[in-house]
């Protein structure tokens, strides 16, 4: 059977080679010219969609919001698609919605406002229309008609196909024997595709690493200078929601030696962040820069290992893709994606090294690190059994026992899980609290919703203590599945579709996204073809299949960031496909070949080992006796505020965060941090759930600071100050707070500071 499959594969490769070599060049060039002409014509005649909403397909979403899928109207060529809003282009859609003949709006409304206020607001997002009626009635029963009018754009797959066809024509022209640039092509191919290039220049990766760290820091400084927000960090500096929670966890671990129950689900990142926070002397700005440097270092280590396989050029392209993912989901954020992505990159570097050197011990270590990555940032856990099978396959290639080494791989996973449990116990948590979000996700799938569905359906459950409520949540979920299994199956299928549409290369747009997606699909098939002969191709295939198997469960609850630990495989698979295609076409015509690069057997992944030691020390430091030397003690002998006001004593220049918002007469500055109020509002995406909270009038200072008095020690205080003078950033400050006057920022109450006093 295997011989027959191998024969078919060889015949297929031979046939493709004959087609490439035998096709006249003018045919390829003519096809490229026709494709470009078709693209120009399609842009010139882009049709306008005018569709009446099918009210039978409209579904209630949340609150006043209703949801309906909008696609390409019937009778329209498949080369067109609807342009929708996205994270990077929040106002890309030009859709106009009408209730009878009355226009609704405003468009591009944040989903929060559509749900809570309604009154005609709508958002055309990701292929779906989130809308509300003018009077917040049910559009399915109010007797009115609803019509959507929007221009169609060129479909990304069509633009990507044209891009690849033009690229093929260029490769054909460059690789022709009569081409005058043949020698230049050979030099370029030697530099970009020869895996030995990094060994000829030992300093190249050090220089690239310094440059990459500099770019990451420039990005963070740019956020601070312009006031632009990144996910759960306002103006790049003020953490909100989960980001604020992790900062609180780190403070409690250092000063108290334990953390509250919410922190127990993610002990790896909490400990890692706490160590960086100590190294920065409790300055959040420096902590974010150190965190970005560590993550960028892991990207460079991973790229170096990829270069030993694919060459310098493809490895740099992969590194850029991972860098863009980090920019969107990790840099300037106090979020678990940082440690999950960092450990995932190191794990993949170790596994690639093990594949080419045949060292099973390195493979076990890589699998253990990948397990920790998936505990640090919960994600595609089904990848783990696929990698276990891959290690068994790697052993079988060396004529060792498949079952014995698969069992040892399972043991490495168990050891990593136990290490995570030990870390939870060290901060005062219960091991069953790990991944306690999964019952919420499972219930959401059973009810056709998301992880928050259980809170709406059963508000009486103590979901804040998820470990305690897990049994009841599972019971309710299985009851839903028994009553209507179709809902559960449709939820799984819908999430699988989200993986292909929203998760893969979510940092790219337009034809680039389409080209990457096509290359990824090609890589999936090519890695399957070469899996038997190249264990690195088999590794990419195993991890990708594990991601696809995990997607139906998790893709709907957080998008691409949930796949942080394994996200680097996506651009690597696409790059592998491009290199393989190029090697078997253009390079063959150039009489050059780098199809079987070999790495010296005696070169271990020293950089990955060194970074693992650094991360291990960072994670272990808060659990060691050294922690007590850095712990702060409660302040004593402080005069309290007058009756009716709460006394808060804290340090504002460190330990806390102060976002100073000023008008046009006060220039922006990096330290102490200050931003213009217009820049702040403009820098928050329109679809953000907290945008309306930060459309404010200056002057205003938003403060997040820990209480240093004994009776409420380390408790995070959320405060605001509206005085024209700025709060002092000295060593110790007493703040008098009026608890009766509040303002909401990011759906959390902040209390007004009425006076302050700088203490000695």
- Whether omega for the bond prior to residue 285 falls within 30 degrees of 0, making it cis, is no
Alpha helices by DSSP H, 448-509: 453-457, 466-483, 485-498
pLDDT at residue 19 tops 60? no
Query: Helices then strands (H, E): number in the chain?
Result: 26, 18
Phi, psi at 699, each rounded to 5°: -80, 150
Which tens digits make up the pLDDT trace of 491-512?
888 888 888 877 888 888 777 8
Q: What is the mean pLDDT of residues 363-382?
A: 92
Which tokens is 711 given? 């009776």
Q: Are 292 and 218 in contact (CB under 8 A)?
A: no
Across 329-362, b (16+ Cβ under 10 Å) vs e yields bbbbbbbbbbbbbbbbbbbbbbbbbbbbbebbeb
Which tens digits make up the pLDDT trace of 430-470?
666 566 677 778 888 888 777 777 777 777 776 555 556 77
The pLDDT value recorded for residue 591 is 43
Angle at 671 between CA 669 and CA 674, to 5 degrees: 45
Angle at 355 between CA 354 and CA 357, to 5 degrees: 65
Q: What is the 3-state secondary structure (H, E, C) of 76-139?
A: CCCCEEECCECCCCCCCCCCEEEECCEECCCCCCCHHHHHHCCCCCEEEECCEEEECCCCCCCC
Which uninterrupted H or E stretch holds 50?
strand 48-52
Instruction: Tell me which residue of 672, 668, 666 sits closest to 683, measured CA to CA.
Output: 668
Three-state DSSP class for residue 732: strand
Q: What is the mean pLDDT of residues 682-700?
A: 81
Q: Are 446 and 480 in contact (CB under 8 A)?
A: yes
- Cβ neighbours around 201 below 10 Å, total: 12
- CA pair distance 408, 414, nearest whole angstrom: 10
List, as one string, the DSSP characters of 196-228.
THHHH-TTHHHHHHHHHHHHHHHHHHHHHHHT-
Phi, psi at 469, each rounded to 5°: -85, -5
- CA pair distance 732, 708, nearest whole angstrom: 9
pLDDT at residue 104 tops 80? yes
The pLDDT value recorded for residue 88 is 67
Find tokens 């440690």 and name the residue.
339
The pLDDT value recorded for residue 5 is 55
Q: Which region among 3-17, 48-62, 303-317, 372-386 has the lowest average model confidence (pLDDT)?
A: 3-17
- CA pair distance 600, 440, nearest whole angstrom: 48
- CA pair distance 595, 585, nearest whole angstrom: 11
Three-state DSSP class for residue 725: coil
The pLDDT value recorded for residue 22 is 59
**CA-to-CA dists, residue 757 to 11, 699, 702, 729, angstroms:** 82, 19, 17, 11
- CA pair distance 393, 160, nearest whole angstrom: 35
- What percent of the chain is modeled with pLDDT above 90? 25
- The residue with greater pLDDT, 178 or 609, is 609
pLDDT at residue 516 tops 70? yes
pLDDT at residue 179 tops 50? no
Residues 6+ apart with CB under 8 A from 104: 97, 98, 120, 121, 122, 131, 132, 133, 134
The pLDDT value recorded for residue 23 is 64
Residues 6+ apart with CB under 8 A from 707: 648, 649, 650, 713, 714, 715, 716, 717
- Cβ neighbours around 420 below 10 Å, total: 21
Q: Which region among 185-199, 456-470, 643-657, 688-702 has the lowest average model confidence (pLDDT)?
A: 185-199
The rounded radius of gyration (Å) of the Cα atoms in the chain is 28
Alpha helices by DSSP H, 129-179: 156-175
Q: Which region among 87-101, 185-199, 301-315 has the lowest average model confidence (pLDDT)?
A: 185-199
Instruction: Tell me which residue of 47, 55, 45, 80 sits closest to 147, measured CA to CA.
Output: 55
**CA-to-CA dists, residue 749 to 329, 650, 685, 720, angstroms:** 26, 19, 22, 10
- CA pair distance 266, 335, nearest whole angstrom: 10
Find tokens 């909490």 and name the residue.
270
Q: What is the mean pLDDT of residues 54-81?
A: 83
- CA pair distance 146, 158, nearest whole angstrom: 30
pLDDT at residue 155 tops 90? no
- CA pair distance 118, 111, nearest whole angstrom: 9
Q: What is the mean pLDDT of residues 141-162?
A: 83
pLDDT at residue 183 tops 80? no
- CA pair distance 586, 593, nearest whole angstrom: 10
Mean pLDDT of the chain: 82
Which tens digits make up the pLDDT trace of 740-753?
999 998 888 999 99
Q: Which of 344-358, 424-438, 446-460, 520-534 has the highest mean pLDDT?
A: 344-358
The pLDDT value recorded for residue 352 is 93
Which uninterrupted H or E stretch holds 151?
strand 146-154
Local structure of residue 681 (DSSP, 8 states): H
Confidence bin at 178 (pLDDT 50/70/90): very low
Confidence bin at 594 (pLDDT 50/70/90): very low
pLDDT at residue 626 tops 90? no
- Cβ neighbours around 209 below 10 Å, total: 19
């Amino acid at each position: 059977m295997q011989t027959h499959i191998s024969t078919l594969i060889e015949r297929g490769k031979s046939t493709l080679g004959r087609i490439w070599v035998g096709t006249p060049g003018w045919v390829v060039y003519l096809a490229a010219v026709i494709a470009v002409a078709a693209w120009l014509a399609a842009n010139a005649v882009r049709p306008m969609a005018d569709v009446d909403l099918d009210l039978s397909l409209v579904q209630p979403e949340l609150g006043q919001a209703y949801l309906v899928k909008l696609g390409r109207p019937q009778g329209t060529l498949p080369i067109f698609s609807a342009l929708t809003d996205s994270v990077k282009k929040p106002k890309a859609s030009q859709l106009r919605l009408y209730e009878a003949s009355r226009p609704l709006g405003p468009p591009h409304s944040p989903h929060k406002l559509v749900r809570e206020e309604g009154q005609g607001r709508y958002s055309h997002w990701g292929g779906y229309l989130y809308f509300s009626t003018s009077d917040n009635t049910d559009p399915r029963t109010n007797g009115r008609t609803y019509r959507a009018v929007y221009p169609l754009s060129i479909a990304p797959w069509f633009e990507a196909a044209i891009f690849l066809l033009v690229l093929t024509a260029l490769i054909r022209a460059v690789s022709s024997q009569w081409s005058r640039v043949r020698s230049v092509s050979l030099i370029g191919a030697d530099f970009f595709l020869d895996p030995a290039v990094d060994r000829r220049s030992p300093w190249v990766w050090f220089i690239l690493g310094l440059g990459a760290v500099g770019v990451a820091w420039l990005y963070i400084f740019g956020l601070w200078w312009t006031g632009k927000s990144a996910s759960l960090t306002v103006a790049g500096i003020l953490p909100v929601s989960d980001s604020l929670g992790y900062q609180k966890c780190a403070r409690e671990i250092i000063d108290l030696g334990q953390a509250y129950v919410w922190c127990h689900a993610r002990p790896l990142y909490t400990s890692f962040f706490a160590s960086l926070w100590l190294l920065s002397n409790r300055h959040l700005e420096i902590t974010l820069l150190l965190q970005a440097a560590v993550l960028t270092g892991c990207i460079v280590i991973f790229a170096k290992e990829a270069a030993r396989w694919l060459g310098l050029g493809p490895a740099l392209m992969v590194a850029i893709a991972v860098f863009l993912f980090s920019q969107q989901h990790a840099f300037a954020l106090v979020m678990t994606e940082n440690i999950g992505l960092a450990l995932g990159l190191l794990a993949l570097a170790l596994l690639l090294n093990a594949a080419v050197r045949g060292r099973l011990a390195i493979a076990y270590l890589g699998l253990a690190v990948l397990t920790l990555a998936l505990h640090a940032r919960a994600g595609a856990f089904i990848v783990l059994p696929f990698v276990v099978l891959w290690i068994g396959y790697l052993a079988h290639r060396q004529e060792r026992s498949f079952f014995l080494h698969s069992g040892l791989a399972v043991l490495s996973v168990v050891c990593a899980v136990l290490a995570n449990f030990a870390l939870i116990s060290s901060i005062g948590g219960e091991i069953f609290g790990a991944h306690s979000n999964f019952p919420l996700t499972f219930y959401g799938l059973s009810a056709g919703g998301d992880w928050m569905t259980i809170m709406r359906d059963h508000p009486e459950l103590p979901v804040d203590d998820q470990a305690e409520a897990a049994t009841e949540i599972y019971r309710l979920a299985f009851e839903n599945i028994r009553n209507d299994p179709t809902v559960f199956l449709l939820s799984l299928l819908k999430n699988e579709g989200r993986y292909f549409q929203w998760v893969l290369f979510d940092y790219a747009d337009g034809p680039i996204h389409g080209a990457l997606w096509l290359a990824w699909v090609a890589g999936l098939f090519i890695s399957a073809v070469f899996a038997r002969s190249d264990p690195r191709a088999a590794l990419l295939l195993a991890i990708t299949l594990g991601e696809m198997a995990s997607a139906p469960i998790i893709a709907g609850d957080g998008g691409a960031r949930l796949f942080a630990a394994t996200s680097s495989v996506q651009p690597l698979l696409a790059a592998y496909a491009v290199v393989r295609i190029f090697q078997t076409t253009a390079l063959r015509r150039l009489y050059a070949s780098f199809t079987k690069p070999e790495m010296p057997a005696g070169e271990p992944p020293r950089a990955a080992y060194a970074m693992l030691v650094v991360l291990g020390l960072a994670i272990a430091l808060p659990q060691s006796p050294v922690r007590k030397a850095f712990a702060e003690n409660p302040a004593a002998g402080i005069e309290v505020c007058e009756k009716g006001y709460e006394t808060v004593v804290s340090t504002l220049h460190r330990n806390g965060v102060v976002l100073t918002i000023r008008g046009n007469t006060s220039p922006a500055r990096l330290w102490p941090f200050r931003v213009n109020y217009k820049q702040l509002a403009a820098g928050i995406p329109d679809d953000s759930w907290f945008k309306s909270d930060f459309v404010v009038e200056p002057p205003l200072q938003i403060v997040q600071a820990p209480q240093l008095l004994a009776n409420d020690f380390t408790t995070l205080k959320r405060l605001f100050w509206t005085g024209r003078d700025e709060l002092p950033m000295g060593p110790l400050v007493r703040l008098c707070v009026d608890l009766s006057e509040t303002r909401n920022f990011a759906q959390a109450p902040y209390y007004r500071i009425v006076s302050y006093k700088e203490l000695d």
